[in-house]
């Protein structure tokens, strides 16, 4: 660890204390796995008040972040560290935050309040040695996740650990100990005690798990671990309704559920939610009228409801439901070019993501090859429009608000005037110059 860039500052910090200062958690885990170290968590058998007092006239600034959990933020120049006093946590329910915490001098007690052994390895900064009270280093070497105590006890303390189990296994390519997996399945109901915002945050990290440490397919493994544990039934029950629901054999090799998982697997991180929800309404449509017709329209409605339930931001909901609704657009590639052009302009903000979703959806059919004709056509027309200099937003126009004022176009009509010009510029080559756009506005200003 001595070679790490932050160690020099921590050696200096350790000199202010009369007890060992440790790095613990993710930084130590990642060091042993050869992964990038980002956040630095510190721990010691020292109270927050004593830390603040000892650092009062030092180059380090300590500020309390949680009196209840004995946590501090320690800053030094351009670096900052999270510090937590050795503590014992007491839970009366698995609601993520302990009901009561008390200080301890015992490193074993502190280790056993954590979740998994791979996160409970300590590094004594001054002695330059690892302290491993629960065998976490062996588990890292064996690439396996075990809990710091009986798994039933660990999960009952904090139901969110069920999600963390799936996420960390996926992100780092670790296996889950069989006893731990069995206990996770038996205690899956504990997720009901967790705030939906925390579940959503973990879910987001799972569906983009391949990005954390660049482990291929970590996202699909994470999702399948959620299914195996039983968490998917609580988070996204609509998804599993597609199991066993067959589709047209000329388009699809898989049932609805497997197809969605394949589409998710092939998707880039930015469209993962849309990939999971793009065919979410197929079971509903079949049950409602015996066919999958209109699943894009119903999917838009269901996607909005699901994402609202999971408390996603409005911007995310708006984008995902739009992608779900449009994923079938021009599927047979028989839409007129002029109509495609208008569609591209109207949906310019999500066009790249829509093309990517169409591509993943097509590939996930498992029947008609790798490349989606529909996605290819959208991309081809889009590239032509760019080459021609077609404006896609009003910001791309060669006129602005000052020009509208000089043309005496009333304030309440200016937005409509620019929109009208934008639409007209799709087809009129003479409207791609500033002169042509000014003439258009002048000629049509009374009709806006």
User: Contact, 94 vs 190, CB < 8 A?
Assistant: yes
For residue 226, is pLDDT > 80? yes
pLDDT for position 97 = 79
Mean pLDDT throughout 228-252? 94
Residue 251 phi, psi (nearest 5): -115, -25
- Of the candidates 19, 22, 74, the residue with the CA atom closest to the CA atom of residue 52: 74
SS3 331: coil
Distances in whole angstroms, Cα of residue 436 to Cα of each of 393, 394, 397, 446, 447: 17, 15, 11, 17, 17
Q: How confident is the model at residue 301 (pLDDT cuts 50, 70, 90)?
A: very high
Q: Which helix (H) or strand (E) holds 377?
A: helix 373-388
CB crowding 286-295: b at 16 or more within 10 Å, else e: beeeeebeeb
- For the residues of 124-193, what is the DSSP string, one character each? ETTTTEEE-TT-HHHHHHTTEE-BSS-HHHHHHH-TTHHHHHHHHHHHHT-EE-HHHHHHHHHTGGGGGG
**Helix-then-strand count for the chain, H and E:** 24, 11
Structure-token match 């991180």, residue found:
269
User: Contact, 14 vs 125, CB < 8 A?
Assistant: yes
pLDDT tens digits, residue range 337-390?
999 999 999 999 999 999 999 999 999 999 888 899 999 999 999 999 999 999
What is the C-alpha to C-alpha distance for residues 167 and 207, in angstroms, rounded to an integer? 9
For residue 94, is pLDDT > 70? no
- Residue 211: Cβ-neighbour burial (10 angstroms; 0-12, 13-18, 19+): middle
Q: How confident is the model at residue 236 (pLDDT cuts 50, 70, 90)?
A: very high
pLDDT tens digits, residue range 42-90?
999 999 999 999 999 999 999 999 999 999 999 999 899 999 999 999 8
User: Contact, 76 vs 59, CB < 8 A?
Assistant: yes
CA 289 to chain centre: 35
Q: How confident is the model at residue 103 (pLDDT cuts 50, 70, 90)?
A: very high
Mean pLDDT throughout 322-334? 96
For residue 2, is pLDDT > 80? no
Mean pLDDT (the chain) is 95
Residue 439 phi, psi (nearest 5): -60, -40
Q: How confident is the model at residue 204 (pLDDT cuts 50, 70, 90)?
A: very high
Report the share of the chain in percent with pLDDT over 90. Answer: 92
Residue 400 phi, psi (nearest 5): -145, -170
CB crowding 300-329: b at 16 or more within 10 Å, else e: bebbbebbeebebeeeebebbbbbbbbbbe
**pTM, 2 dp:** 0.92
For residue 278, is pLDDT > 70? yes
Tokens at 440, concatenated: 């258009």
What is the C-alpha to C-alpha distance for residues 59 and 403, in angstroms, rounded to an integer? 57
Domains of the chain as residue ranges with CATH: 1-142 (3.30.460.10), 143-235 (1.10.110.30), 237-388 (1.10.3210), 394-444 (no CATH)
For residue 332, is pLDDT > 80? yes
Alpha-carbon Rg of the chain, whole angstroms?
A: 28
pLDDT tens digits, residue range 109-142?
999 999 999 999 999 999 999 999 999 999 999 9
Tokens at 429, concatenated: 């080559």
């Amino acid at each position: 660890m001595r070679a790490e860039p932050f160690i020099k500052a921590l050696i200096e910090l350790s000199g202010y204390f009369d007890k060992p200062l440790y790095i613990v958690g993710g930084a130590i885990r990642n060091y042993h796995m050869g992964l990038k170290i980002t956040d630095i968590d510190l721990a010691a058998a020292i109270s927050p008040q004593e830390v603040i007092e000892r650092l009062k006239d030092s180059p380090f600034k300590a500020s309390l972040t949680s009196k209840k959990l004995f946590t501090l933020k320690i800053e030094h120049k351009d670096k900052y560290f999270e510090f937590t006093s050795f503590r014992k946590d007491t839970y009366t329910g698995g609601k993520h935050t302990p009901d009561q915490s008390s200080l301890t001098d015992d490193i074993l007690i502190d280790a056993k309040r954590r979740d998994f052994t791979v996160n409970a390895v300590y590094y004594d900064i001054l002695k330059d040695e690892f302290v491993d009270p629960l065998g976490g280093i062996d588990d890292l070497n064996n690439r396996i996740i075990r809990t710091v105590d009986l798994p039933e006890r660990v999960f009952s303390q904090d139901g969110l650990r069920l999600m963390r189990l799936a996420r960390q296994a996926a992100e780092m390519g670790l296996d889950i100990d069989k006893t731990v997996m069995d206990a996770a399945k038996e205690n899956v109901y504990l997720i009901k005690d967790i705030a939906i915002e925390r579940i959503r945050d973990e879910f987001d990290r799972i569906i983009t798990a391949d990005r954390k440490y660049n482990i291929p397919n970590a996202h699909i493994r994470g999702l399948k671990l959620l299914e195996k544990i039983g968490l998917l039934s609580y988070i996204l029950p609509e998804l599993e309704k597609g199991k066993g629901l067959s589709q047209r054999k000329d388009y699809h090799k898989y049932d609805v559920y497997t197809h969605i998982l394949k589409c998710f697997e092939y998707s880039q991180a930015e469209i993962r939610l849309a990939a999971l929800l793009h065919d979410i309404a197929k079971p509903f449509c079949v049950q409602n009228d015996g066919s999958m017709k209109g699943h894009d329209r119903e999917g838009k409605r269901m996607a909005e409801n699901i994402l609202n339930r999971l408390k996603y931001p409005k911007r995310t909901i708006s984008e995902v439901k739009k992608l779900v609704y449009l994923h079938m657009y021009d599927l047979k590639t028989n839409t007129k070019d002029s109509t495609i052009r208008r569609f591209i302009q109207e949906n310019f903000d999500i066009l790249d993501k829509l093309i990517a979703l169409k591509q993943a959806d097509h590939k996930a059919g498992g029947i008609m090859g790798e490349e989606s004709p529909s996605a290819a056509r959208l991309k081809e027309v889009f590239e032509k429009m760019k080459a021609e200099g077609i404006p896609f937003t009003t910001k791309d126009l060669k006129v602005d608000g000052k020009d509208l004022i000089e043309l005496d176009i009333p304030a309440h009509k200016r937005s409509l005037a620019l929109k009208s010009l934008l639409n007209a510029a799709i087809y009129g080559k003479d409207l791609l110059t500033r002169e042509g756009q000014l003439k258009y506005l002048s000629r049509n200003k009374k009709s806006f």
